[in-house]
Amino acid sequence: MAERKFFGTDGIRGLVGQAPITPDFVLKLGWAAGRVLSKQGTKKVIIGKDTRISGYMLESALEAGLAAAGLQAAFTGPMPTPAVAYLTRTFRAEAGIVISASHNPYYDNGIKFFSSEGTKLPDEIELAIEEELEKPLTCVESAMLGKAKRIADAAGRYIEFCKGTFPSELSLAGYKIVVDCAHGATYHIAPNVLKELGAEVITIGCEPNGTNINDKVGATDVAALQAKVLEEKAHFGFALDGDGDRVMMVDEEGNKVDGDQIAYIIARDALRRGELKGGVVGTLMTNLGMEVALKNLGIPFVRAKVGDRYVMEELVKQNWLIGAENSGHVIMLDKVTTGDGIVAGLQVMASIVGSKMSLKELCDGMTMYPQVLENVRFAGESNPLESDAVLSAQAAVEAKLGDSGRVLLRKSGTEPLIRVMVEGEDADLVKESALAIAQAVKDNC
């Protein structure tokens, strides 16, 4: 298959104002996508965005491109990525488009696409869009131009959907929960979902201003959530990233609970209820502790490449339902078609309520191996991962760790970074090893 020029592991992403995240490119992207995606005849595309200031500009450019291709744009306003996937299905739209750079800072932005089924676009469709981008932009005749409108009740529809994934016989009454929305797209969704399920809700990260998304809040930085949970003596905390497809939690003692632990709790609860179908899909980054804990329960486990699209592909291949990345993408195919932070969190909360156990107690069955991730910024043309010095440093660490640890080096699919991950039983050795490999990478960038 041909190599993609613009699409990465999660759509097209970059610095606003620099190619490809410019108004002219995004206008043509809307046109190219419209030409490829207009297969069903509904001529409708759902467009959502997170709270970045650049979303206004890119939204207008996309709409113009789609209109030139003859497609209608239906705007949701700020809306979580999984909500756009859900609305795309319920409105029987040709596709859904999300303007978001997920967990990145406000000065980045990106474009993600969903199929009419609410799933990420397959590679062949992304390649077809890239082929259209090489052609000169044309415009359908005036009578065929697309129109635009706003979906007035988008938030209410999604709130009801989320609530519907929580068992009707259970309630969050009596629970004090701190919710951190990363000043992102869930700020008007997640607190209302939990309140309507009966919880006492304390919010942080719910005051977006266009430039504070993911800034020292949210799933990528839970320090503020940990402090608030302890201050409020809350039962637990719940953090989402800027576009709501990732979730992290914090237990009553302030300990972080990541995507691996969340998937483990969900799988174990499904097993307890006799509703587990198959096993769990993780990634190359999944903690060894999860693999061991699932094995102890007799639950099958396989690893996919890093990226929720690859987790999804493996789930479909295995015909399983539960997949996750430790970064907080959690997929439950019996409930959603993509990673959904709110819905994943609700399943953990259902386990807390149903078992009458605390979040910390639910995590106790899984011992996390020390894992250190070092990110090295990478801007050169050469590939440091092929350097003899880097390969030598990696081999030396693997020899020290033996069978009780792992090393993983990879390029990020969403940022110009080399990710160095080392995992093992000895925390000091793991940290020392990760720093040694990271230094070798830096020296060879």
Residue 102 annotated as binding site: yes
SS (H, E, C) 97-132: EEECCCCCCCCEEEEEEECCCCCECCHHHHHHHHHH
Residue 42, pLDDT above cutoff 90: no
Q: Domain for residue 1, yes or no?
A: no
User: Which two three-digit tokens encode residue 9?
Assistant: 């592991």
Indicate whether 124 and 64 sit together in one domain: yes
Indicate whether 106 and 24 sit together in one domain: yes
170 φ/ψ sector (left φ>0, alpha ψ -120 to 50, else beta) = beta
Q: Domain for residue 167, yes or no?
A: no
DSSP strand pairing (417-424 vs 371-377):
antiparallel
Q: Domain for residue 280, yes or no?
A: yes
Residue 27's pLDDT band (boundaries 50, 70, 90)?
A: very high
User: Which two three-digit tokens encode residue 259?
Assistant: 């995507």
Residue 287, pLDDT above cutoff 70: yes
Indicate whether 143 and 180 sit together in one domain: no
Q: Domain for residue 308, yes or no?
A: yes
What is the pLDDT at residue 381? 67
* Chain segment 332-388, per-residue pLDDT in tens: 999 999 999 999 999 999 999 999 999 999 999 899 999 999 999 887 666 788 888
Indicate whether 267 and 221 sit together in one domain: no
- Residue ending a domain, among 345, 368, 391, is 368
Q: Domain for residue 7, yes or no?
A: no
What is the pLDDT at residue 396? 93
Q: Domain for residue 159, yes or no?
A: no
Q: Domain for residue 165, yes or no?
A: no
| 441: Cα separation from own chain's centroid | 27
What is the pLDDT at residue 286? 94
Residue 243 annotated as binding site: yes
Indicate whether 230 and 341 sit together in one domain: no
Indicate whether 312 and 433 sit together in one domain: no
Indicate whether 179 and 134 sit together in one domain: no
Indicate whether 331 and 346 sit together in one domain: yes
Residue 80's pLDDT band (boundaries 50, 70, 90)?
A: very high
**Which whole number is the average pLDDT over 5-17?**
91
Lowest mean pLDDT among 11-20, 340-349, 414-423: 414-423
Q: Domain for residue 214, yes or no?
A: yes
Residue 392 annotated as binding site: no
Indicate whether 395 and 283 sit together in one domain: no
Residue 323, pLDDT above cutoff 90: yes
User: Which two three-digit tokens encode residue 397?
Assistant: 């660490």
Residue 1, pLDDT above cutoff 60: no
Residue 50 annotated as binding site: no
Give the amino acid at 333: L
User: Could you give the number of structural domains in the chain?
Assistant: 4
Taking the C-alpha atoms of residue 194 and residue 199, their distance in angstroms, rounded to an integer, is 6
Cβ–Cβ under 8 Å, residues 216 and 223 = yes
Where in the sequence is the domain holding 229, given as residue range(s)?
172-255
Taking the C-alpha atoms of residue 112 and residue 270, their distance in angstroms, rounded to an integer, is 31
What is the pLDDT at residue 411? 85
CATH of the domain at 408: 3.30.310.50
Cβ–Cβ under 8 Å, residues 61 and 73 = no
Task: Provide the mean pLDDT of the chain.
Answer: 94
Taking the C-alpha atoms of residue 135 and residue 113, their distance in angstroms, rounded to an integer, is 20
Indicate whether 242 and 321 sit together in one domain: no
Torsions phi, psi for 207 (to 5 deg): -130, 70
- Residue ending a domain, among 368, 385, 411, is 368
**Residue 376: which residues within 8 A CB-CB, separation 6 or more?**
384, 417, 418, 420, 438, 441, 442, 445
Active site residues: 102
CATH of the domain at 303: 3.40.120.10
* Chain segment 129-180, per-residue pLDDT in tens: 999 999 999 999 999 999 999 999 999 999 999 999 999 999 999 999 999 9
Residue 49, pLDDT above cutoff 80: yes
Cβ–Cβ under 8 Å, residues 385 and 417 = no
Lowest mean pLDDT among 73-87, 213-227, 401-415: 401-415
Indicate whether 210 and 324 sit together in one domain: no
User: Which two three-digit tokens encode residue 76?
Assistant: 């949701």
More confidently predicted of 376 and 8: 376
What is the pLDDT at residue 10? 82
- Residue ending a domain, among 196, 229, 255, is 255
Indicate whether 16 and 145 sit together in one domain: yes
More confidently predicted of 30 and 371: 30
Environment class of 431 (CB within 10 Å of its CB; exposed 0-12, middle 13-18, buried 19+): middle
